[in-house]
Amino acid sequence: MPDKAPMKALAERARAVLPAGGFGNFDPSIFIREGHGARVLDEDGREYVDYLIGSGPMLLGHGHPEVLEAVAEQLPRGMTFFANNAAGLELAEEICRAVACAEQVRFLASGGEADMYAMRLARAFTGRDKILKFEGGYHGMSAEAQMSLAPTRLVNFPQAVADSAGIPEAVRGEMLIAPFNDPEYLESLLAEHGDQIAGLIVEPLQRIIPPEPGFLLTVRNLCDRYGIVLIFDEVVTGFRLAYGGAQEVYGVTPDLCTLGKVIGGGFPLAAVAGAQGYHGPFRQGHRRRRQVADDARHAVGQSGRRRGGPEDDGNPAPRRRP
Ligand SMILES: Cc1ncc(COP(=O)(O)O)c(C=O)c1O
C-alpha cells in the first residue's frame, strides 16, 4: 500500500543523517519534489505558490525554458573542467557590462565564500586587519560574517557578538559593529578606528531595511576619507533590485561587490567583482603576496578609481555606466 504521507517518513530518515533534520534554515518537515515556474510541489503532493524562490536566486521561476535549454545543451559536453571555458568568460563579460563596480570578476561557489574573499582582498589591499560590518547584516558563514547578525546579549557598539560557537576570540577582536543607517555613529567610529579598518561590508538594502536617503553615499565618502575598501554584499540585491543591482538603484559604487546564485540561474555560483587592482591576490604567479598587494594598491591608484589616490578630485567615483 502506498505511503500516504511520504514526507513524514523522509523527515524521520533526515533526522538521522542531517543536523536538525534539514539542509539549513527552512522547516525540515517539508520536502519539495519539484518546481515549475512560480509553484512547487511537496512529496505529499501539496502545491504551493513559491515565495521562497530558492531563498532568492530562482528569480526566473523553476525550470525556466531558456535555462533548461542552456543546461541541456552543455550537460552532454561535460560539467567541470577546472580550466577556463568560454561560457564562463561570457558571463564575466556580462557582469562587467551590468555592474558599475565590476572591471574583473572572480567566480566562487557560494555567496558566503565570495564575501569571505572580498574581506580578504580588502585586507590584502590595505595591509590592515579590521573589518567593519553593520548589526543585522548577513554575509554568510565565515567567522567574520557570523558576528552580530542577531546578537543574543546587549553590548555597546562597536563590540562584536559572535552568532555561533567555534569562532576564535582573535577574529572577534578584528570586527567592529555599527548600527545600520546611523551616519553620525559611523563617522565618530571611523574618526577613532578608520586607519585600522581594511574593509567595510554592507548589504546596501539590509535584509528588509532600505538605506536612508544619503546613507550609502556617506558610507562611500567615509570609506574614501579613511582608505577603507567598501564592499557591497549584493548576494540578494545583485541582478534583482535592478539589473545593475543596488549600486545602480542607489547610485553609489562600491570598490568590490559580491554576487550569488542568481548569476548561475540558481546553480551554486557566486562572484566577487571590482576594479582590477583589488584582485591582486587572485593573480597566479610566484611573486610574494605582499608584492602582489603593493602592485594592486598601485594599480588602483593609477586607475583613479580609488578616491584619495593620486587622481582624486574629491568627487564621488565616476560610475562607468548610467
Ligand atoms: C546578503 C547575503 N550574503 C551572503 C549570503 C550567503 O550566500 P550563500 O548561501 O550562497 O553562501 C546570503 C545568503 O542568503 C545573503 O543573503
Phi-psi domain of 3 (left: phi exceeds 0; alpha: psi -120 through 50; beta: other): beta
Contact 197, 226 (CB under 8 A): yes
Contact 229, 258 (CB under 8 A): no
User: What is the separation, in whole angstroms, between the first and last Cα of the chain?
Assistant: 63
Cα-based torsion angle of the residue sequence 253, 278, 127, 198 in order, rounded to the nearest 10 degrees: 20
The model's pTM: 0.88
pLDDT tens string 216-229:
999 999 999 999 99
Q: What is the CATH number of domain 86-303?
A: 3.40.640.10
For ligand 1, whether the C-beta of 236 sits within 6 Å is yes
- Break the chain into its structural domains and give their ranges: 1-16+24-83, 86-303
* CATH fold for the domain made of 1-16+24-83: Aspartate Aminotransferase, domain 1 (3.90.1150)
Predicted confidence (pLDDT) at residue 317 exceeds the cutoff of 50 = no
- Which segment of 57-61, 185-189, 249-253 scores lowest on mean pLDDT? 57-61
Helix (H) or strand (E) holding 10: helix 6-17
For atom 9 of ligand 1, the residue with the nearest CA is 111
For ligand 1, the distance from its centroid to the CA atom of residue 33, given in whole angstroms, is 23
Model confidence at 286, pLDDT cuts 50, 70, 90, reads very low
State how far the Cα of 195 lies from the Cα of 149, in Å rounded to an integer. 25
312 is catalytic: no
CA of 56, closest atom in ligand 1: 14
For ligand 1, whether the C-beta of 234 sits within 6 Å is no
SS3 for 108-128, per residue? ECCHHHHHHHHHHHHHHHHCC
CA of 260, closest atom in ligand 1: 10
138 is catalytic: yes
Task: Supply the pLDDT for residue 282.
Answer: 82
**Integer Rg of the chain from CA:** 21
CA of 140, closest atom in ligand 1: 6
pLDDT tens string 76-113:
999 999 999 999 999 999 999 999 999 999 999 999 99
For ligand 1, whether the C-beta of 233 sits within 6 Å is yes
